[in-house]
Amino acid sequence: MYKLFIADDETIIIQGLKKILDWSSLNIEISGEASNGKIAEENILALNPDLVILDIRMPLRSGLDILHSIKNKAMDTQVIFLSAYEEFIYVQDALESGAQNYLTKPVDKKKLLKAVKTALKQIDLNNAAKAAMEKILQIEKEQTAINPGSVDFSIDEFIKSIKNEQIRYILAFMNEHYAENITLERIAKMAYMNPYYFSVYFNKNTGLHFKECLTRIRLVHAIKLLEMKDIKTYEVAEMVGFTDPRYFSELFKKIYHKTPSEYKRNKI
């Protein structure tokens, strides 16, 4: 069933909304309600409902504030705004910020039903698109040019194969600064995205998860260092950005099927 959350600073409005439609016939369950913006925002972000009906003006946090929080978290929640205010500026702000619809009080049953059905169609489309994208990403990942077991992998060639210019720039940055404390949050800021959305965006354009790609870049540079005589394994680990030499060795063996020391002995 779809999950619905209702928030309005008038309790009587919440009770009316719960009765105005036969929600169960729409395959909708009411998963929560709130009468102030702060509690509404906390619960919506925690419950991640499919649909939210929000009063645009509430104490502590406005409906628009909550909508912005939903979008910043890259949630697919559909939002229908309710308000006693008919000024165009509220409608404009709501729709430009990503609201599904905007209805004025008192709520018209037919208009609400139409808005809810439209929102449900969008939810179904989003879910179908997400499932299709996951399938595509899985296929791309299986076919990606990066072979975790290959020591001949070229980072430069991989970067050139990426069609997205922004991702090419980010990969080039990672390849240059691999020894630093590179985090998903840090790189997401470079792309002006929140970490969750950037993670999906990066995976979509590379076929790899961010951490997986960063690790692969570091190990490629580690291989080059291991081929040098006077550098010890723990020094190599530190030089390519691993703070724990033991973890570095375990990861290296998992991918290349031999320890860094074994690889070094075979190459020197």
How does pLDDT run across 147-161, given as a tens digit for each residue?
544 556 678 888 888
At residue 247, does pLDDT exceed 80? yes
What is the predicted pLDDT for the residue at 48? 93
Mean pLDDT for the chain? 83
Q: What is the predicted pLDDT for the residue at 156?
A: 82
Torsions phi, psi for 31 (to 5 deg)? -90, -10
The answer to whether residues 6 and 118 belong to one domain is yes
Token pair of 44 as six digits: 């919506």
pLDDT at 51: 95
Give the rounded percent of residues in the chain with a pLDDT score beyond 70.
Answer: 85
pLDDT-derived band of residue 183, with 50, 70 and 90 as boundaries?
Answer: very high
Residue 174 lies in a domain: yes
What's the CA dihedral at 22, 24, 30, 31 to 10 degrees? 180
Q: Tell me the per-residue pLDDT of 110-144, one tens digit each, with 9 for 90 and over.
A: 999 999 999 998 888 777 766 655 654 554 454 44
Using the 3D structure, point to which of 113, 129, 145 is the last residue of a domain: 129
Residue 78 is encoded by which pair of tokens? 């559909």
Average pLDDT, stretch 166-195?
Answer: 90
* Mean pLDDT along residues 60-88: 82
**Structural domain boundaries, residue 167:** 155-267
pLDDT value at 4 more than 70: yes
- Name which of 46, 38, 37, 3 is nearest 23 in CA terms: 3
**Is 144 among the domain residues?**
no
Residues 198, 189 contacting (CB under 8 angstroms): no
Provide the pLDDT for residue 146: 46
Q: Is residue 93 situated within a structural domain?
A: yes
Same domain, 65 and 174: no
Q: Is this model's pTM higher than 0.75 or not?
A: no
Structural domains counted in the chain: 2
Phi, psi of 2, rounded to the nearest 5 degrees: -75, 145
Q: Is 198 exposed, middle or buried (0-12, 13-18, 19+ CB in 10 A)?
A: buried
Is there a domain that residue 67 lies in? yes
For 7-49, what is each residue's pLDDT tens digit? 999 999 999 999 999 999 999 999 999 999 999 999 999 999 9
Residues 174 and 224 in one domain: yes
**Residue 148 belongs to some domain of the structure:** no
Please check whether residue 252 lies inside any domain of the structure: yes
Domain match, 114 and 176 both: no
